[in-house]
Amino acid sequence: MAISQIPIENMFSKHFGGTSRGTLDSARKGYFFTFYLQIPNMLVNVPGVEFKDTMSMSKYLTATTVSIDGFDISVSKNTTQGVGNTKYSEVTGIDFGDSITTAHREFKGLPMSRLFHAWVKLMADYTTGGRHVITGENNQQSGYKCTILQVNTDSDYETIQNAIMYTGCFPDKDPMSGYLNQDITSLDKVPDISITWNIDKFFHSFDFPFVLQEASVWLSTMRESILATRNGDFGGPTL
């Protein structure tokens, strides 16, 4: 039922259950998928990376992402004070963040740590601390940035609630601290890798239909994995 069709009595009762008129399904925070697109081709050639191609990297990043933290979009305003401490505000624009944070599950051999180490190494020289120009390709933005597509679904894993595409993404640190920082009381704990990504621009499915189209295409690639899991096959990602 569309929101415009809610019977007038529901405005008071706030009751939307049942099987007759006035029934509405509540929004559910179901599942999320995070797809990593347009990964820099040169990452494959950085020593220490154990992935055969960028598609393997993309699948592994998707499989190991256990959380993602986005940002809020707030309204910027200018507040003016009058007599008697009265105030009024005028909208001046919007303000939104320029970074998101993802957490990734790590495995024996530290493949994720190696990947992000290589990504930072692709951008900066560990000897001089300056920009690391291996070839002309990685001196361009397309040589070290990627696109991240976040798809949020209902609890059925298939019905898309919304999606957002982040562009101009690159990790802002080498996550070596996950293993350089040690504590004898937590030696048996497997630390997730936390990565903060720079964001140049974002596109939300509420405003850009192409994002929903992309989300549908990439979600369809997960259907086989979803069905396998429902059938009891919990196989892990492969390199």
For the segment 105-118, what is each residue's pLDDT rounded down to a tens digit? 988 888 888 889 88
Q: What is the pLDDT of residue 68?
A: 94
Separation between Cα atoms, residue 127 and residue 136, nearest integer Å: 19
CB 22 within 8 A of CB 9: yes
pLDDT > 90? residue 145: yes
- In this predicted model, what pLDDT tens digit does every residue of 56-86 receive, in sequence order? 899 889 999 999 998 888 899 999 998 888 9
Q: What is the pLDDT of residue 5?
A: 59
- In this predicted model, what pLDDT tens digit does every residue of 200-218 receive, in sequence order? 999 999 999 999 999 999 9
Q: Which residue has the tokens 């979803």?
A: 226
Q: What is the mean pLDDT of the chain?
A: 81
What Rg, from alpha-carbon coordinates, does the chain have?
A: 23
Q: Cβ–Cβ contacts within 10 Å for residue 65, how many?
A: 21
Q: What is the mean pLDDT of residues 186-200?
A: 83
pLDDT > 90? residue 198: yes
Report which secondary-structure segment, H or E, holds 115. helix 111-123
pLDDT > 70? residue 35: yes
pLDDT > 80? residue 226: no
Separation between Cα atoms, residue 49 and residue 136, nearest integer Å: 21
Q: What is the pLDDT of residue 187?
A: 66
pLDDT > 80? residue 27: no
Q: What is the pLDDT of residue 214?
A: 95
Q: 49-55 long-range contacts, Cβ below 8 Å, gap at least 24?
A: 49/114, 49/115, 49/118, 50/109, 50/111, 50/114, 50/239, 51/111, 51/115, 51/239, 52/239
pTM of the predicted structure, to 2 decimals: 0.82
Percent of the chain, pLDDT > 70?
Answer: 71
Q: What is the pLDDT of residue 18?
A: 65
